[in-house]
Amino acid sequence: MIKGRPCKCVEVSTSKTGKHGHAKAHIVAIDIFTGKKMEDLCPVSHNLEVPFVKRTEYQVLNADSDTGEVSLLQENGDTKDDLNLPCFIKIGEPTDEDKKIQSELLDEFAKGEKSVFAIVQAACGEEKIVGIKCV
């Protein structure tokens, strides 16, 4: 967690103890929802929060390219209607990966040849479609 956002750590470097203070760790990470690069500098003796990230697969029942709404089937048989396509986001701009996942999901769903499953990543009360699987 950097600045309250769940992130994937990509680089950690440490500096030696200086004249004024403790050894510090320079952490570079990527936000798992927005793809933004985040950096933090903190003492190596301090603890950091680590987000609990959960990945779940749901079958796609419906996907609307105009409104961005997606209807998913949960394991217990209920529908999950609170997610949008990856390019319909509240914070920032969609990444190239978001655009690729969205077009692939819509194309495969429109074909109707296979069952389409959305891979949903959840952490810190946020959820996002991060991939698809066709069966």
**pLDDT recorded at residue 19:** 75
Question: Spelled out in words, what is the top-level CATH class assigned to the domain 7-43?
Answer: mainly beta
Distance CA 123, CA 16 (A): 33
- The yes-or-no verdict on residue 134 having pLDDT over 80 is yes
Q: Output 112 or 25, whichever has higher pLDDT.
A: 25
The residue written with tokens 């796609």 in the block is: 60
pLDDT-derived band at 27 (thresholds 50, 70, 90) equals: very high
User: What are residue 83's phi and psi, to 5 degrees?
Assistant: -115, 155
pLDDT in tens, 76-127: 999 999 988 888 877 778 888 888 999 999 998 888 888 899 999 999 999 9
Burial 88-100 (b: 16+ CB within 10 A, else e): bbeeeebeeebee
User: What are residue 109's phi and psi, to 5 degrees?
Assistant: -65, -40
Torsion (CA) 7, 63, 131, 135 in degrees, nearest 10? 150
Q: Output 17 or 52, whichever has higher pLDDT.
A: 52
Find the radius of gyration of the CA atoms of the chain. Answer: 19
Distance CA 129, CA 135 (A): 17
- The yes-or-no verdict on residue 22 having pLDDT over 90 is no
pLDDT in tens, 30-60: 999 888 999 999 998 889 999 999 999 999 9
54-134, CATH topology level: OB fold (Dihydrolipoamide Acetyltransferase, E2P) (2.40.50)
What residue ranges do the domains of the chain occupy? Answer: 7-43, 54-134
**Coil/strand/helix, residue 54:** strand
Distance CA 106, CA 95 (A): 17
**pLDDT recorded at residue 56:** 94
